Amino acid sequence: MSLFDIAFYFFALITVASAALVVFSRNIIYSAFALLFTFFGVAGLYALLGADFVAVAQLLIYVGGILVLLLFGVMLTTKLVSVDMKTGTLQALPATLLFAAVAGALSGVYIITDWNVLAGAPDAATTAVTIGDMFLTTWLLPFEIASVVLLVALVGAAMIARRDARSKPTQQAAL
Amino acid sequence: MLQHIIDSSHLFRPETALTATFCVVLLVDLFLRKRTSMPAYVAVLGLVVTGWFIAAQYGGAPATLFSNMLAVDPFSIFFKSLTLASTLVIVLFSLQSNELRDSKRMMGEYYALLVSLTLGMFLMAGATNLIMMYLSIELTSMSSYILSAFTKEADDSSEASLKYVIFGAVSSGLMLYGMSILYGLTGSLDIYGINRALIAGNVNNVTLLISVVLMTAGFGYKISAVPFHFWTPDVYEGAPLPVTAFLSVASKAAGFAMMMRFFKVTFIDAAVGGSYLGSWISVPGFEWNHLLAILAVLSMTIGNLIAVWQTNLKRLLAYSSIAHAGYLLLGVVVLSNEGYAAVLIYLAVYFFMNLGAFFAVMMVANKIGSEHIDDYKGLGYRSPLLGVCFTILLLSLTGIPPTAGFVGKLYLFSALLNAKWIWLAVVAALNSVISLYYYLRILRNMFLTQPDPAGAPIRFGAVQIVILLMFVIPTILLGVYFGPLVQYAQASITMFTNR
């Protein structure tokens, strides 16, 4: 087992274990903190695959930005911290069967398939320059459309979260 | 590269105009708060400019833009025109809707999101790259989630939107997974590149099948085919009526556009076949159309059978739209130009009859405040004009001559029979009979039951009647004089090919 493999399994373990904690924890604070390790593990996997720019972006944006906001949001919403979330299981048997079928099929696929592996990883010192070039040439359109998607999401979030001045007082109390 | 981008941006004008309209509508709403109808007029202006740019694209040679991200060809121009027409109609609907008038304060965002939804559908109609396909689906879905939560004061609107978001997230996740497997198999994100890799062979067919099944989850969700339809009735019921009408026509059309382009370009060995009646040969060892045949049978049967039990008109139309997705899939199953042309004809016809039916339901809901089938009792006597118009639209949805719906079904069925899918044609015909039952139930309530003792005549404004006739007259006209539509559809199946 090479050093690469050890590092891979290390990060994979962190990612999967903390992701399980996010889902199974009954306390939303624990879930939010466990998410930190999930993001971190994924960043490690990116770095291992030679995607240094994506790894750094993952750390800066997800770990540094989004997660901190999420924690603030959770902690400032007093009701959420104390409340026990509903984590019951419904339809256990069909869910297990579906899970087994999907997991079996997908693992089978990964074993039997002869993947189209690109010859040799890019050995550039950093991928940031290439990514920057590509965003403004080949991938210009997706890059621009992604910004429209984000703008729409922002407008929508503002619209849904805004408290309507004319809405009924009973609903204001409920909020 | 720079020259290519400049050339591409000339052919990208309709989409650019929509993006600009989106921003301008938001700004107008910000600075001219007092004038609540202003955003609608600005949106209409932007849409007209977009239409002018699209009209300029007619007759041009098929091309791809921005390094094979987006195709501009007769096929995408057809769908852009259809989507744009629906958006214009929906703006008209929205100006007439009492439901929306009650939440006047947010109309700027409403029209802006209608425009961004249109932009998403334009991109869906042309996307030739997996990344572009995913982004355009996300743009469309994101805008529709927000629009269906628009009357958020109503409980069912928030619930509808939440269900929409959850189902949408799951199916776009599945679709992304399928795309990643397809990329892993072929080493290409460009659907022309994937096609070349598949024709060259050396691809594991089991893996390919799983990837296509996963991607079909994304397409099936957009066109609301069974078993990806669970969101449809709730969203259709909870969303404001103009939004429901828009989703039922334009969103379905855009989903079909993307799916038809993806399947035809990716999985057809285009070296074989070609003429108008000639059928296509799919890539060796992979018969994906059988998968879609199952989907079509399930959608038709389940959609129609559940529709029989519905008492809310919006839910009934939701299940009927699921069934129509099934009929439309038949044209994709047959693997021929004839089948694709039949889908385009049906979608154009569906535009008039389904939007008209939704508008009629909205007119009634504005007056009597209900969408329940029992409240339609005696409606034919309370407002004979609406009764007759609604009857024509419902008969057309069933597919009874001499309405346009009959022409749509005729071309679909003949494509099926020419391709020797006899059993599928039989199932589709049986389903049409089932659908007759629930459409006729509405007619029975309108005409054969006595009007309520308290049922005074209902009068509608002249504008609303004119809009309703805008749908009813083409529905009859296209039923008797459909030559131009058929020719237009047959000319519009040309897609950009890269060989």
Task: Count Cβ–Cβ pairs < 8 Å, chain A vs chain B.
Answer: 93
pLDDT of A124: 62
Res A11: pLDDT: 93
Give the mean model confidence (pLDDT) for residues A131-152.
91
Name the β-bridge partners of B70.
B65, B127
Question: Structural domain boundaries of chain B?
Answer: 268-499
pLDDT for the residue numbered B95:
86
Conformation bin of residue B155: beta by default, left when phi > 0, alpha when psi is -120 to 50: alpha
For residues B124-137, one letter each, b for 16 or more C-beta atoms within 10 angstroms of the residue's C-beta and e for the rest, the string is: bbbbbbbbbbbbbb
Between residues A87 and B129, the one the model is more confident about: B129
**B207, B208, B213, B214: best to mutate for the A interface, most A CBs within 10 A:** B207
| Of the partner residues B1, B105, B116, the one whose CB lies closest to the CB of residue A164 | B105
Assess contact for B75 and B494: CB atoms under 8 A: yes
The pLDDT score that the predictor gives to residue B135 is 94
For residues B62 and B85, the answer to whether their CB atoms sit within 8 Å is no
Residue closest to A32 by CA, chosen among A61, A65, A64, A74 = A74
ipTM of the complex: 0.89
At A167, the pLDDT band (50, 70, 90 cuts) reads very low
Q: How far apart are CA B305 and CA B170, in angstroms?
A: 26
Which positions in chain A touch B146 (Cβ < 8 Å)?
152, 155-156, 159-160
**What pLDDT, on a 0 to 100 scale, did the predictor assign at position B319?**
93
Q: Are A116 and B185 a contacting pair at CB < 8 A?
A: yes
Strand partners, B65: B70
pLDDT for B392 equals: 92
Preceding amide of B14 cis, omega within 30: no
d(CA B361, CA B93): 12
CA angle B447, B450, B453 (to 5 degrees): 135
Contact assignment for B139 to A141 by CB distance below 8 Å = no
State the best of B111, B146, B190, B209 to mutate against chain A, taking most chain A CBs within 10 Å: B146
> Where do the domains of chain A lie?
1-87
Residues B359 and B463: beta-carbon distance below 8 Å: no
pLDDT of res. A169: 42
Q: Which of B131, B185, B186 sits opposite A142 (nearest CB)?
A: B131
- Which tokens is B413 given? 């069925």
Q: What is the DSSP letter of B174?
A: H
pLDDT at residue B112 in the model:
92
* Residues contacting B317, CB < 8 A, separation 6+: B236, B244, B248, B354, B357, B358, B361
Distance CA B124, CA B140 (A): 8
Mean pLDDT, consecutive 10-residue segments, chain B of 499 residues? 86 92 90 79 93 89 87 92 93 83 74 93 93 94 89 73 89 92 89 86 82 91 88 88 91 93 83 57 74 91 91 90 93 87 93 92 85 83 88 91 90 89 91 91 85 72 88 90 89 77
HSE value, Cβ hemisphere, 13 Å, CA-based, for B147: 29
Instruction: Spell out a b/e string for B81-120, using b for 16 or more CB atoms within 10 Å of the CB, else e.
Output: bbbbbbbbbbbbbbbbbebbeebeebbbbbbbbbbbbbbb
Q: What is the DSSP string of B412-440?
A: HHHHHHHTT-HHHHHHHHHHHHHHHHHHH
Given 3.40.50.300, 1.20.120.1200, 3.10.20.520, 3.30.465.10, which CATH number is that of A1-87? 1.20.120.1200
